[in-house]
Structure 1
């Protein structure tokens, strides 16, 4: 089940913009419905995000919307009882949709997953984008095109979903109004409680390590971690020239509201370099350079632009 969920997250794409410093800001919701929930997974779960930070969750077991992270200590941001009732209603509709798809394919015995991703974005305090789409068993299913406006089927079974969701014109207009008015309005309401957290700048810690096996190349790894926002530049150079890396490059959540990434390069035993890892991040006054030698670790200070040797 876990690999399927991870694949769907990749399929649906990022729920938020990569950069968060002083905007843009986004509000998004990721819904997941499972026909056969297993241990540790609920039949329905909703997670709401402000930019890339989860700020409340809801699931089919507790049936309560609960704030997460720093938002769990904020008073007056949301009426959580009212939000819980809203998520209950959305859960019911979502799970009916999953059942309808399974009925279309006449497959009520297998394990199936439906995910939905929807939300909006603000730039310079103005609405600049919105999205609403679904995936079924790892494949695009249906999406909303607000300019038409209409639901656009991306799967044979989605024709039935489209007919059901467009049975009355008011349903289509409500979806359009949600993306263009209600969602941006909610985001505007949340920002006064959230800007200090979303606009923060956490500089990366950087570690350079190496190892070699007899008769093999040196393997150099540059790890950057505990940084926020997500956008970062990380590369190996030899005598100032960029080197092609063998692995790494993906920016991953650390699980504590920050990010981590790494790059790995191979170096022949006779190649003495010099090799350096270069790090660029919005929290740094200038790029940070870590020279390959013995294991080194440094905390990058944004106002110092230190270049450890």
Structure 2
């Protein structure tokens, strides 16, 4: 197995600007996710990467275009990153991924099989001033190897990973450089991005609230209270009967939208003939105080049922 890990990390150091430490509130995070395929389908890249700042897609790269492309609102910030250098770095990472994937397949004597190699690493600037980090890889959906900063060593989680660990740590300085990257270089990059784009992560966009309904086969009305276009992600939606605190229904998953905001909803079931007045309550950090909407079954529908 080739010793591409140390070479890759050295290149990463050379392309990373030196950024002085700076106080922050946070938490803020910078993370990278990679996928390599041994036998991609026609038109599918063999390798792709995506980076996030907090929960916001920051840039993407794939082996078909071989270019790092800023995403969303980050594309409009000048001087945020040298994208030509970032493209070069991602090209090296692509080569690194595919070499490692092939070596794992050889270890398991399946050089022609269809397999997946994935990796993720990143860092976090926490509200209390501490720094968090992670760096790990997976093979065919199972844990493969991870870096432990407390041990300053790679920990093999798969038989083939023992070979990878041996090769990567043949350079005795590599574990120290990996630890330095997670604890110094990555936070430095994150601070640099925050200096130019913190406002995009700290922004607050209020939700547009709506109520929809439909009737099931038993005549029950399924009433949904939804919120759309809000940021940040955390939101609370709940139904109650008027002047009651008992919550009805359950809030569904909060989902991302194409413009970097989120949508969420809570649904409840209203029986035929139910004349109760219900209230949808919504709490979000963009709102000065909780807001609510009142809903009841339309009177014409009640009278129409006799």
Residue of 237, 243, 253 corresponding to 2:256: 253
Partners of 1:22 and 1:199 within 8 A in 2 = no
If the length of structure 2 is used for normalisation, what is the TM-score? 0.82
Are residues 1:42 and 2:39 paired? no
If the length of structure 1 is used for normalisation, what is the TM-score? 0.81
- In the other structure, the counterpart of 2:78 is 75
Count of aligned pairs? 274
- In the other structure, the counterpart of 2:285 is 282
Query: Which one has a bigger Cα radius of gyration?
Result: 2
> Alpha-carbon deviation of 1:105?
2.4
Partners of 1:243 and 1:265 within 8 A in 2 = no
Residue of 155, 163, 168 corresponding to 2:166: 163
CA RMSD of aligned residues (A): 2.2
Q: After superposition, what is the alpha-carbon deviation per residue over 1:30-54, rounded to whole angstroms, capped at 9, x for unaligned?
A: 1111112225531111111111111
Distance 2:42 2:241 in 1: 49
Question: Residue 143 and residue 244 in structure 1: after superposition, are their counterparts in 2 closer, same or farther (change >3 A)?
Answer: farther
> Alpha-carbon deviation of 1:124?
4.8
> Alpha-carbon deviation of 1:273?
3.0
- In the other structure, the counterpart of 2:190 is 187
Are residues 1:98 and 2:105 paired? no
Distance 1:39 1:275 in 2: 53
Distance 1:245 1:40 in 2: 43
Partners of 2:40 and 2:46 within 8 A in 1 = yes
What are the ranges of 5 or more consecutive residues in structure 1 without an aligned counterpart?
A: 1-20, 296-309
- In the other structure, the counterpart of 2:55 is 52
Distance 1:140 1:103 in 2: 18
- In the other structure, the counterpart of 1:173 is 176
> Alpha-carbon deviation of 1:132?
1.0
- In the other structure, the counterpart of 2:16 is none
Q: What stretches of structure 1 move > 4 A for 4+ residues in a row?
A: none
Question: Residue 156 and residue 230 in structure 1: after superposition, are their counterparts in 2 closer, same or farther (change >3 A)?
Answer: same
What are the ranges of 5 or more consecutive residues in structure 2 without an aligned counterpart?
A: 1-23, 299-306
